[in-house]
A and B are shown apart, each in its own frame.
Chain A
Amino acid sequence: MKNTIRIERAFKNITQAELAEAVGVSRQTINTIESNKYVPSTVLALKIARVFGKPLEEIFILEEKD
């Protein structure tokens, strides 16, 4: 699963730390999600999508191998 968090952050002009604080996780977690090293839970994914004001499918995209 890939995601567009880095792009959305750039649009919204917020840092990893600010996004982490907004969704209540550590900066490391946001970093690993952005790098596709960690797949977040549904609750966390929904929280991230809510911060960007977009539907979940626009932030997180399934890949062929999933």
Chain B
Amino acid sequence: MKPQFLFPYWFRYLGWGCVLAHVPLAMIGHSHGMVNIMDIDPGQSVFSGEHIFFICTTLLMAVGLFFVAFAKEKIEDEQIAQIRLTSLRWAICLNYLILIISLIFITDTGHILELNLWVPLLFFILHFRWNIYRLNRSMREDAKVS
């Protein structure tokens, strides 16, 4: 199998760490009166308080999900690659469906963009993990039968 670019296996844990870390950061930020970058007036300077808050929370979560989604499995073979591709196609299709529906019915494009930051990655991870779980379950069932 041709090697494809993926993060090492341990990036999965690093990714979940980033996703979990953004929760207390967001709570602390909100308690100190920080607002989402989407809710402030446009034209704020780069690396303003709100911008850094955005990087430490929403972007940290998106980067975490990205690491989880594209970290290698323990044994990365052609079947895993096929499941990965199927999940990616499924996630992109669903994301565009949600994007099109929300663009028709919602005018708040800023929040739609924010939603798009993590929706495809989350759908991809859910679909991919579900298929891996099904694969392992079918193997256990076959082992019981034989």
Contact surface of A with B, Cβ cutoff 8 Å: 24-29, 31-32, 35, 37-38, 40-41, 43-44
Contact = CB atoms under 8 A, between A and B. Distances in A.
Q: Which of B74, B82, B135 has the most CB of A within 10 A?
A: B135
B78 A32 contact: no
Interface stretch (B21-29, B31-39, B100-108, B136-144): B136-144
Contacts of A25: 75, 77-79
B117 to A, nearest CB: 32
Contact of A24 (B77, B136, B139): B77
B40 interface: no
B78 A29 contact: yes
Interface string B78-99: 1110100000000000000000
By DSSP majority rule, is chain B's interface helix, strand, loop, or mixed? helix
B135 A28 contact: yes
Interface size class of B (residues with CB under 8 A): 10 to 19
Given A26-B74, A31-B142, A35-B142, 15 more contacts: A24-B77, A25-B79, A26-B73, A26-B75, A26-B77, A26-B80, A28-B135, A29-B78, A29-B79, A31-B138, A32-B138, A38-B79, A38-B82, A40-B78, A44-B1
Interface in B52-87: 73-75, 77-80, 82
A20 to B, nearest CB: 8
Nearest to A41: B78
Contacts of B82: 38
A45 B73 CA distance: 22
